[in-house]
Amino acid sequence: MSTQDTEVLRGLQGLADRRASARLRAALAIGTSPDPRFLDALVERCAVEPEFSVREMLTWALIRHPPATTVPRLLEEVRSARAQARSQALHTLSKLGDRRAWPAITPALLSDTDDEVARSAWRAAVVLVPEQEEPALAAALATQLGRGGREMQLSLSRALIALGEAMVPTLCAARADPDPRVRTHAVATERLLRDPDAGFESAVEEAKRVVLLGGAAQEG
């Protein structure tokens, strides 16, 4: 066995080590000296890795490999039945920023029932979207307004704000939604767009007052 083959075997064994510190070192070493023979193992490890810091190092190692080989493999993983596999593949695609991946960002992913997959899809979408597709993306993202707790809603607000002016008509329409959670989230996002330094909690509280007063005015 050649020295290079020995190093590949050592790297593969490191990725499977039960110790998180060993897996972290292995991912670092693989990213430092990329080799296409590691690609499948890196992607597979992303799907099951429990430690956040190791997952981030795995992503770094993946983006050190040529996009021509990495992107197609990640696009396969986006269709996986495993939620973490989809989430990590989307996260890595957002880091690569290769717009060839844009067609893989489907409405099903943007509304995935798994919160982490949906959040990863939102972040990837606003990085990869072609300019002419931004209004359609804004409309798709707006279907998720009001979803989840504060962190989830903040993630969606950030994605919408990243689209800039393309999302303004969609937010205006959402202000008339019959669901007060949707209206509140839309108003809070508009507030953050106007004042990026405003905290999300503050924006939500102001939005609640706006929605409540608007409802009272309509009743009157």
pLDDT at 192: 86
Average of pLDDT values for 27-47?
Answer: 94
pLDDT at 47: 97
In a domain, 163, yes or no: yes
pLDDT at 208: 72
Whether 1 has a pLDDT exceeding 70, the answer reads no
In a domain, 171, yes or no: yes
pLDDT tens digits, one per residue of 59-101: 999 999 999 999 999 999 999 999 999 999 999 999 999 999 9
In a domain, 71, yes or no: no
pLDDT tens digits, one per residue of 56-70: 999 999 999 999 999
Burial of 161 (0-12, 13-18, 19+ CB in 10 A): middle
In a domain, 193, yes or no: yes
pLDDT at 148: 94
**Containing domain of residue 219, as a range?**
133-220
Average of pLDDT values for 112-138?
Answer: 97
- Whole-angstrom Cα distance, residue 151 to residue 200? 9
Q: How many domains does the chain have?
A: 1
- pLDDT bin (cut points 50, 70, 90) of residue 140 is very high
Across the chain, mean pLDDT equals 90
Q: Quick count: other Cβ atoms within 10 Å of Cβ 197? A: 6
In a domain, 160, yes or no: yes
Q: By mean pLDDT, which of 91-95, 147-151, 161-165, 201-205 is the weakest?
A: 201-205
In a domain, 186, yes or no: yes
pLDDT at 43: 97
Contact 159, 141 (CB under 8 A): yes
In a domain, 211, yes or no: yes
Q: State whether residue 49 is helix, strand or coil.
A: coil
pLDDT at 8: 78
pLDDT at 209: 78
Contacts of 91 (CB under 8 A, 6+ apart): 59, 120, 123, 124
Average of pLDDT values for 173-201?
Answer: 85
pLDDT tens digits, one per residue of 9-20: 888 898 999 999
In a domain, 11, yes or no: no
pLDDT at 217: 35
Q: Which residue has the tokens 């508009």?
A: 190
DSSP the chain: --HHHHHHHHHHHHHT-SSHHHHHHHHHHHHHS--GGGHHHHHHHHHH---HHHHHHHHHHHHTS-HHHHHHHHHHHHT-SSHHHHHHHHHHHHHHT-GGGGGG--HHHHT-SSHHHHHHHHHHHHHH--GGGHHHHHHHHHTTTT-SSHHHHHHHHHHHHHTGGGGHHHHHHHTT-S-HHHHHHHHHHHHHHH-TTS-HHHHHHHHHHHHHHHHHHHH-
pLDDT at 131: 92
Structure tokens at 83: 């939620």
